[in-house]
Amino acid sequence: MKKISILITVIMFSVSLFAQQNMCSNNTPSLYHKQTEKALKAVAGNHILLNAVYYWKWDAGVMDWSTPDTNREINFEYDGAFNNTTYKTCNDTNLNDSALYLRTYNANNLNTSTTYQTKTTKDTNWVNRTKDTTTYDANNNLTSYLYQQYNGLSWEGYYKYSYQFDANNNLITDLYQSHSGTGLVPDSLSTFAYNSNNYLTGYVRQSWSGSNWLNKIKDTITYNANNKVTSQMIQVMQGVVWIDSLLVLNTYDVNNNLTSDLIQKWNGSAWVNFELYSYSYDGNNNRTSILYQKWNFTSWLNFSQTTYSYDANNNLTSNLYQTWKVSAWVNNYLYLNTYDPYSNLLKTTYQTWTGTSWKNNNIKGWSFDANHLMLSYTNRNFNNAGNSVTSGDSVYYYYHSVSGINTISAYEGSIVVYPNPGNGIFSFEMKNGNKEVKVIEIYNVLGKMIASQLSTFNSQFSINLTWQPAGVYFYKIMNVSGNLAGNGKLIIKK
């Protein structure tokens, strides 16, 4: 198989504007001018990293973002793997450094600790405050999370989560420990079970009595042939007996869309109706409505409904919530969304019904650069009449790019990714029959690895990132020898 050698230069560069960004002093008025957001951002290279975050306040007098907030996040630094290792914040009236975050990572670029330190005008050195420590197993599953506070002399555990996984990387135990004054003591324990398809079939939650574990809640889940949840029964422990409490029954259409949630309660001898949610969808399987009803012992009574609409790209454009009054639906609130051609959300308008018309309550806005990185976020609150902005805040994000030198091997034209942009589920195809892929890693714009997946050594595989927000991500594929087989950019749009 023919290989080519790709040279990638890893040279962190800076410009004078970056140095100005990373100052907490208030001696550069031009920094606060809105137009500098474009000048302070340089986007060119292989990796785009967050450099600083500035906050603004709404000035109702001039109706503009003319008042600089005291909050800033600055001095973002990264290691050779583009993991964010440190950044500062400043939030007092003099814009002095006030907080420092220090992060460490393991060999797999997973965050292992975050230390939070503060410094006031009376302090000459940074003072420890809190610390998060995480551990992982050989499959990169999170096995523990420890939150500590500094007591002036040493770190003291405040609470801790410990996790265990089975051979299929399913979570099987979740132990929570809390601070007792002398150390960490058991608080609660959840144990999970799965079927042969690795779908959760139930869990039991227990609490610690001081000497032993006591059963509290039990959840049992069933599935249909399409691995969709058909029922969920919740039981509570009374004495030494499990007592039925709540039952949820689900139905689906031919496209496996959820069409109803029937919620029933146990009355001591039988299940009785309690609530009903009914769902409808359009031809693209977008949910178009939710009808919520309550049982009055003889029939279902309307309570509320939510209606959704979408654009040609299946982006949600409106969300109308109504309540049932006597014999008709009455408007309550409305969300209106607009998007750019790449399906990045640009604006959300929240309106409430006055009885005769809609009035603005809040408008949120976002802006993005050519790489789909978020440049700004704005939040504006309106007066009671809905015709004037009375308060708000905004955030501006600044980036710098990284290029660099490192020698790696990659298969020429070896990777095809589709769909890209996509909704979060991406398929990868290794050309020329290459099956040497061992692991794929996904990174966010901060350079932090947010997902990894072992390959089954097939030339085609996929990864699910639908749980991540819209934006730009980077993938890195390693072969069985531990060398880079390829990398690139992924764009999630929603």
Q: Which two tokens stand for residue 169?
A: 């990387």
User: How many CB atoms are located within 10 Å of the residue 409 CB?
Assistant: 14
Find the mean pLDDT for residues 281-289: 94
The predicted pLDDT at position 271 comes to 98
**191 strand-pairing partners:** 173, 204
Please give the full DSSP string across 34-51, using - where no structure is assigned: TTHHHHT----SSEEEEE
Do residues 199 and 189 lie in contact, with contact meaning Cβ atoms separated by under 8 Å?
Answer: no
pLDDT band at 84 (very low <50, low <70, confident <90, very high): confident
**Over the chain, what is the mean pLDDT?**
80
Asked if the model's pLDDT at residue 402 lies above 90, the reply is no
3-state secondary structure of 9: strand
Asked if the model's pLDDT at residue 369 lies above 50, the reply is yes
Q: Which two tokens stand for residue 417?
A: 């990714």
**Block residue for tokens 């990185």:** 373
Which domains does the chain show, CATH number per domain? Answer: 1-126+368-412 (no CATH), 413-492 (2.60.40.1220)
The proportion of the chain whose per-residue pLDDT surpasses 70, expressed as a percent, equals 78
Task: Name every residue whose Cβ is closer than 8 Å to that of residue 62 and which is 6 or more positions away in sequence.
Answer: none
Asked if the model's pLDDT at residue 465 lies above 70, the reply is yes
Asked if the model's pLDDT at residue 186 lies above 80, the reply is yes
Q: pLDDT digit string (tens) for 294-303?
A: 999 999 999 9
Lowest mean pLDDT segment, chosen from 21-30, 313-322, 372-381 = 21-30
Find the mean pLDDT for residues 154-172: 93
Question: From CA 412, how far away is CA 414, in angstroms rounded?
Answer: 5
Task: Compare 249 and 401 and report the one with higher pLDDT.
Answer: 249
